[in-house]
Structure 1
Amino acid sequence: MPDYTLRDATIDDAAAIAAVHWTGRRAVYLAHVPEEHWLTDTQAAGIEAWKRRITSGETPLVAEVDGLVVGFAVVGQAGPRMGHASKRDLALHELWVMPEMHGSGISRALLNGVLPPARSAELWIAAVNTGARRFFQKNGFLPDGTTATGEDGVLEVRLVR
């Protein structure tokens, strides 16, 4: 397991967070969304989006290895999503780790950093993201039978703990 540190993100981390987010999303979704999707879903657009999110008060928890951001997580209030009322008060909005860090323990550290193990929450995840679904199930999140198709056309599953 690599040595890593966890800390709250700052606006200066927007580019690194966007890179992790885009890289992770592309690894999961590349075969499941049209190539045209990536013409507008770019790292540059992600940088601006993360600057806005951080400026508006979201504070991702980031993981660093050798001074480089390799993962992040964001938790917040749950709300309706894709026509479905929330089942929990809190939701894990994002948890992404660079693919080469999968299995390193960093994902679990980020998850526990934003959501202690005993805390109930919900999240939505791409049905095709089987590795991440297994990870979340090992951490107490189970499907509640609710599914919806996201705006990108990918089937998502709600998990609750």
Structure 2
Amino acid sequence: MIALRKATEQDIPVIREIARTTWEPTYVPIIGAEQVTYMLDKMYNEGALLEQLSEGHTFLIAEIMKKSVGFAAYSVIDHELRTFKLHKLYVLPEVHGQGVGKFLINEVVDRIRDVDGKMLELNVNRANKAKDFYERAGFKIKETVDIEIGNGFQMNDYVMVMPILPV
């Protein structure tokens, strides 16, 4: 059984550990160890995560038998258009295939629907097999982007979108 809880500042070490554990096998083959280290240091340091929480990012942590096994983070990015962004979704490799990612996506969609959200978007690396997972969840590719992130690195992503339909 998968349980869910909203993360607080006290969960930052858990979020950082899940990110580190999932990023290395996922991204090192795609972008290399140097860029993975750079991005983890930049996006998952304690200050960056505190800033994301203070800017209104909601972090949800999935647990199995009281062990944190994944998380998602989302926020509104356009109030007028009621558009939200799924900033992060990571599940420990040891529980892949057990429905944790689907559980997290469904929970984010339900929460966005509850506040009358109309659209959910995300970025995914073009070589990341998670793209197929997102397509199965209902996302479609909107555009291809290359984003400079510093230190000579860039993210080569698809922007994917999914309409949030009323129940």
TM-score normalized with structure 1 length: 0.79
- Tell me what 1:82 maps to: none
Higher relative contact order (Cα pairs below 8 Å, separated by 6+ residues): 1
In structure 1, the residue corresponding to 2:50 is in which secondary structure? Answer: helix
- Contact (CA 8 Å) 1:72, 1:95: kept in 2 or not? yes
The answer to whether 1:135 aligns with 2:133 is: yes
- Tell me what 1:126 maps to: 125
- Give me the whole-angstrom Cα distance separating, in 1, the residues matched to 2:77 and 2:54: 20
Unaligned runs of 5+ in 2: 163-167
- Give me the whole-angstrom Cα distance separating, in 1, the residues matched to 2:43 and 2:75: 22
Aligned partner of 2:86 among 77, 92, 105: 92
- Give me the whole-angstrom Cα distance separating, in 2, the residues matched to 1:6 and 1:20: 15
- Contact (CA 8 Å) 1:75, 1:115: kept in 2 or not? no
Identity in percent: 28
Bigger strand share: 2
Per the TM alignment, residue 50 of structure 1 is displaced from its structure 2 partner at its CA by 2.1
- Contact (CA 8 Å) 1:88, 1:122: kept in 2 or not? no
- Give me the whole-angstrom Cα distance separating, in 2, the residues matched to 1:38 and 1:134: 22
- Tell me what 1:113 maps to: 107
The answer to whether 1:78 aligns with 2:77 is: yes
- Give me the whole-angstrom Cα distance separating, in 1, the residues matched to 2:124 and 2:160: 8
Q: Deviations over 1:17-40 (max 9, x none)?
A: 111122222222202334333554
In structure 1, the residue corresponding to 2:5 is in which secondary structure? Answer: strand
Higher mean C-alpha deviation, range 118-127 or range 134-143: 118-127
- Contact (CA 8 Å) 1:22, 1:43: kept in 2 or not? no
Q: CA 1:160/1:153 → structure 2, altered by over 3 Å: closer, same or farther?
A: same
Aligned partner of 2:14 among 13, 16, 19: 16
- Contact (CA 8 Å) 1:18, 1:43: kept in 2 or not? no
- Number of aligned residue pairs: 150
Per the TM alignment, residue 47 of structure 1 is displaced from its structure 2 partner at its CA by 4.4
- Contact (CA 8 Å) 2:70, 2:100: kept in 1 or not? yes
Q: Deviations over 1:90-120 (max 9, x none)?
A: 1111111111111111111111111139753
